[in-house]
């Protein structure tokens, strides 16, 4: 050890020599690495001091790829599941004495004892039913162990009247097959009293369950709209099965009670009458029905061209038909879409104020394709179902917007007082389906640009020109409220988490025009004016990002405020951004009905622009399958 310490300087010198010799024999980078490892402590301290002495460089902001905020989606509808209703607790009543609670319902002791004796047959009887519905039925009979629908061994007249309502469910736009009573009442016989008793108790329970299901469907609808899509938003269906059953049983006229649960308004009555009418209509040989999804460009080959030609001849003006009379007469059913047929379509499109490009798509077809009777039946049923999602009484004053019809109507004293064309959301930005209350009118409004529009529409423009907002009358603020210039932001570093608030100042180019009518809601949907007046010339007016653009906004504002159009115009002309509250809020229904009665009560049909009828049909079919598969 002493020798080692004594020779340490020599070892260091030798090591250094070896290191130098090694560095000469290997590439420079490797040699430096070796020396750094050999003298790591001292070199690291020098490196740290040198690094600390360097001036700090700004970190370059990372460029973010363009982002998109998705719109609302449709769901895969899941109907309420059915469960085997356990009636074991009811079966146990056969061994008990008559409950004092049973004394209050008016049947004599013989009928009550008959019910108690019959419950023994319920131990293995487990009908399928909705969970809350089954619980309400079992709970009721546990407290009131006696027949509701049976007397002297036979169904009562009251029971037969309820059965009549269930069998006639199709007339209400429901499906009678979903309310079939699974057990038939026995014929009067003395040969098998036990068999009769078993049939009676099963008939009793089954009728109660089906009548209660009908009651809930008639009042609230078969389909839960909020489970269809994010576009639908209605108050939660607070179905109190126990209360509804109690009301049904205590009603003097049980059948009348069930019928009263359907909407009691003029629109529903008109739809019900229309349903009965179209179900009896026969297919008209001259009806024009074009296959769904048909699309043709000039030069295409499509067998549906024959129906298109027929449709134009039927719905074109007299002048147009006369102009192409020779072409119509010579047409031989050819599927080749070219030549004069393209010119015919273009002329028809110009006549109907459509784009005259000669492309046959949804809008052109919508002008010539008619509803076959079977399709009318479906459209009316959809509308009857959708009405059940609303209050039965719309109110005395309200605004009704049918986005499928591109129409907004103001009602006063339950009568139409004002109606106008509207522009609604395009298919990718659908106007939502809900109802609320109008609270206020804003004159010369600012437009607070929604985040979806900022990210999906404005951000690409800002990446091309950072001063876009500065040039077009927008104000930009940070989340803390500090005003900044849009040109000062590197928009390439901004993505879906848009960290700025943006609003457009009032003026002639403001997207909301001169006023907006607000009914605050989670979708930020409202009615407003628009500087893009030319879009009202179109038949199909689905152009907005979800809000409702009014053709005559000042008239609608005057109607809901209860003042004159001149007074509204004066407030707009004042040029100030101002808010005026309604003296009393009024309901507004932002709806979607592809069959709807006009002011005279005549039902008109509209194109399913958003495809919502298809989703509703699928939900109805799934519900029926669930209810009837094992019933």
CATH code (residue 416) = 2.40.440.10
Alpha carbon separation from 361 to 135, 261, 308, 317, 371 (Å, rounded):
52, 42, 11, 20, 17
How far apart CA 496 and CA 451 sit, in angstroms, is 8
The number of distinct structural domains making up the chain is 4
pLDDT tens digits along 238-253? 899 999 999 999 999 9
In a domain, 291, yes or no: no
In a domain, 603, yes or no: yes
Give the percent of the chain with pLDDT over 70.
85
User: Best-predicted range by mean pLDDT among 219-228, 372-381, 487-496?
Assistant: 219-228
Mean per-residue pLDDT, 192-205: 87
Q: b/e map of 300-330 (b: 16 or more CB within 10 Å)? A: eebebbebbbbbbbebbeeebeeebeeebee
Statement to judge: residues 404 and 358 lie in one domain: no
pLDDT at 429: 94
Statement to judge: residues 105 and 237 lie in one domain: yes
Give rounded-to-5 percent helix, strand, coil for the chain. 45, 15, 40
Mean per-residue pLDDT, 589-615: 96
DSSP 445-481: --EE--HHHIIIIIHHHHHH-TTHHHHTTEEEEETT-
What confidence category does residue 28 fall into, taking pLDDT thresholds of 50, 70 and 90? very low
Statement to judge: residues 401 and 364 lie in one domain: no
Statement to judge: residues 494 and 462 lie in one domain: yes
pLDDT at 234: 97
Mean per-residue pLDDT, 359-383: 89
How far apart CA 46 and CA 42 sit, in angstroms, is 6
pLDDT tens digits along 495-538? 988 999 999 999 989 999 999 999 999 999 999 999 999 999 88
What confidence category does residue 352 fall into, taking pLDDT thresholds of 50, 70 and 90? confident
How far apart CA 574 and CA 354 sit, in angstroms, is 38
Give the percent of the chain with pLDDT over 90.
71
- In eight-state DSSP terms, residue 176 is G
pLDDT for 9 beyond 50: no
Mean per-residue pLDDT, 303-325: 93
Which one of 317, 334, 369 terminates a domain? 369
How far apart CA 628 and CA 176 sit, in angstroms, is 11
In a domain, 401, yes or no: yes
pLDDT at 96: 63
How far apart CA 167 and CA 279 sit, in angstroms, is 17
pLDDT at 196: 84
Burial of 408 (0-12, 13-18, 19+ CB in 10 A): buried
Structure tokens at 128: 């399928």
pLDDT at 623: 97
- Using DSSP bridges, classify how beta strands 603-605 and 595-597 pair: parallel, antiparallel or unpaired: antiparallel
Statement to judge: residues 452 and 502 lie in one domain: yes
- Cβ-Cβ contacts under 8 Å for 82 (sequence gap 6 or more): 128, 129, 130, 626, 627, 630
Statement to judge: residues 110 and 32 lie in one domain: no
Q: For the ranges 24-28, 177-181, 301-305, 443-447, which has the lowest average pLDDT?
A: 24-28
Statement to judge: residues 359 and 396 lie in one domain: no
Mean per-residue pLDDT, 160-175: 98
In a domain, 593, yes or no: yes
pLDDT at 194: 79
pLDDT at 55: 53
pLDDT at 63: 73
pLDDT at 27: 45
Statement to judge: residues 488 and 420 lie in one domain: yes
Mean per-residue pLDDT, 321-330: 93
Which one of 237, 262, 287 terminates a domain? 262
What mean pLDDT, rounded, does the chain reach? 87
Statement to judge: residues 318 and 418 lie in one domain: no
- Domain region containing 184: 82-262
Nearest to 517 by CA among 554, 557, 546, 561: 557
In a domain, 280, yes or no: no
pLDDT at 183: 73
214 phi and psi angles, rounded to 5 deg: -60, -45
Alpha carbon separation from 610 to 321, 514, 594 (Å, rounded):
32, 29, 10
Q: For the ranges 61-70, 91-100, 391-400, 545-554, which has the lowest average pLDDT?
A: 91-100
Q: For the ranges 6-15, 61-70, 326-335, 352-361, which has the lowest average pLDDT?
A: 6-15
pLDDT for 542 beyond 70: yes
Mean per-residue pLDDT, 169-190: 84
pLDDT at 106: 45
Structure tokens at 361: 């798509």
The angle at the Cα of 136, spanning 132 to 138, to the nearest 5 degrees, equals: 115
pLDDT for 48 beyond 60: no
Model's pTM, two decimal places? 0.82
Q: b/e map of 499-530 (b: 16 or more CB within 10 Å)? A: ebbbbbebeeebbbbbbbbbbebebebbbbbb
Statement to judge: residues 499 and 532 lie in one domain: yes
User: Best-predicted range by mean pLDDT among 25-39, 87-101, 258-272?
Assistant: 258-272
Statement to judge: residues 564 and 424 lie in one domain: yes
What confidence category does residue 486 fall into, taking pLDDT thresholds of 50, 70 and 90? very high
User: Best-predicted range by mean pLDDT among 7-11, 88-92, 108-112, 295-299?
Assistant: 295-299
In a domain, 609, yes or no: yes
- Cβ-Cβ contacts under 8 Å for 479 (sequence gap 6 or more): 499, 500, 501
pLDDT for 35 beyond 60: no
Statement to judge: residues 487 and 403 lie in one domain: yes
In a domain, 385, yes or no: no
What confidence category does residue 297 fall into, taking pLDDT thresholds of 50, 70 and 90? very high
Nearest to 567 by CA among 577, 557, 576, 575: 557
In a domain, 281, yes or no: no
How far apart CA 478 and CA 484 sit, in angstroms, is 7
């Amino acid at each position: 050890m002493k020798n080692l310490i004594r020779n340490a300087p020599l070892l260091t010198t030798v090591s250094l020599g070896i290191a130098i010799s090694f560095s000469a024999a290997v590439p420079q980078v490797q040699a430096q690495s070796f020396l750094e490892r050999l003298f790591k402590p001292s070199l690291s301290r020098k490196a740290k001091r040198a690094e600390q002495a360097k001036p700090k460089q700004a970190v370059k902001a990372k460029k973010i790829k363009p982002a998109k905020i998705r719109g609302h989606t449709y769901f895969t509808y899941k109907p309420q599941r059915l469960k085997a209703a356990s009636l074991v607790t009811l079966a146990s009543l056969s061994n008990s004495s008559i409950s004092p609670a049973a004394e209050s319902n008016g049947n004599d002791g013989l009928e009550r004892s008959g019910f108690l004796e019959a419950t023994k047959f319920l131990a293995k009887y487990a009908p399928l039913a909705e969970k809350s519905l089954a619980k309400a039925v079992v709970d009721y009979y546990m407290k009131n162990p006696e027949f509701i629908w049976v007397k002297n061994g036979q169904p009562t007249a009251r029971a037969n009247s309820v059965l009549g309502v269930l069998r006639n469910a199709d007339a209400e736009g429901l499906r009678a097959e979903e309310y079939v009573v699974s057990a038939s009442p026995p014929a009067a016989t003395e040969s098998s009293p036990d068999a009769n008793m078993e049939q009676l108790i099963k008939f009793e329970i089954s009728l109660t369950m089906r009548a209660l299901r009908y009651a809930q469907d008639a009042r609230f609808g078969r389909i839960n709209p909020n489970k269809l899509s994010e576009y639908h938003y209605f108050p939660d269906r607070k179905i109190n099965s126990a209360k509804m059953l109690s009301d049904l049983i205590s009603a003097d006229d049980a059948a009348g009670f069930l019928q009263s649960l359907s909407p009691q308004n003029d629109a529903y009555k008109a739809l019900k009458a229309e349903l009965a009418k179209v179900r009896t209509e026969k297919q008209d040989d001259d009806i024009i029905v074009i296959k769904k999804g048909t699309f043709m460009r000039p030069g295409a080959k499509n067998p549906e061209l024959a129906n298109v030609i027929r449709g134009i001849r039927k719905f074109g003006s007299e002048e147009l038909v006369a102009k192409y009379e020779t072409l119509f007469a010579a047409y031989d059913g050819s599927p080749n879409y070219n030549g004069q047929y393209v010119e015919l379509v273009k002329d028809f499109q110009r006549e109907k104020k459509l784009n005259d490009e000669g492309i046959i798509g949804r809008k052109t077809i919508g002008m010539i394709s008619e509803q076959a009777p079977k399709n009318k039946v479906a459209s009316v049923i959809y509308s009857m179902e959708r009405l059940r999602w609303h209050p039965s009484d719309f109110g005395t004053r309200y605004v009704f917007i049918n986005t499928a019809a591109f129409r907004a109507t103001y009602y006063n004293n339950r009568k139409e007082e004002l109606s106008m064309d509207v522009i609604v959301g395009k298919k990718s930005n659908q106007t939502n389906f809900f109802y609320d209350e109008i609270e206020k009118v804003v004159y010369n409004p600012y437009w607070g640009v929604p985040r979806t529009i900022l990210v999906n529409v404005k951000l690409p423009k800002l990446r091309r020109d950072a001063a876009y907002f500065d040039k077009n009358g927008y104000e930009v603020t940070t989340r803390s409220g500090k005003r900044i210039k849009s040109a000062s932001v590197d928009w390439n570093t901004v993505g879906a988490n848009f960290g700025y608030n943006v609003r457009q100042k009032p003026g002639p180019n403001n997207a909301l025009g001169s006023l907006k009518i607000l009914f605050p809601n989670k979708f930020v949907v409202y009615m407003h004016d628009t500087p893009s007046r030319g879009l009202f010339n179109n038949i199909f007016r689905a152009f907005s990002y979800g809000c409702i653009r009014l053709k005559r906004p000042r008239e609608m504002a005057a109607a809901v405020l209860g003042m004159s159009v001149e007074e509204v115009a004066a407030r707009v002309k004042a040029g100030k951004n101002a808010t005026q509250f309604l003296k009393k809020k009024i309901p507004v229904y932002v709806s979607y009905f592809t069959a709807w009665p006009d002011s005279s009560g005549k039902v008109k049909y509209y194109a399913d622009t958003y495809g919502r009828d298809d989703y509703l049909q699928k939900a109805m079919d799934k519900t029926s399958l669930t209810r009837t598969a094992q019933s």
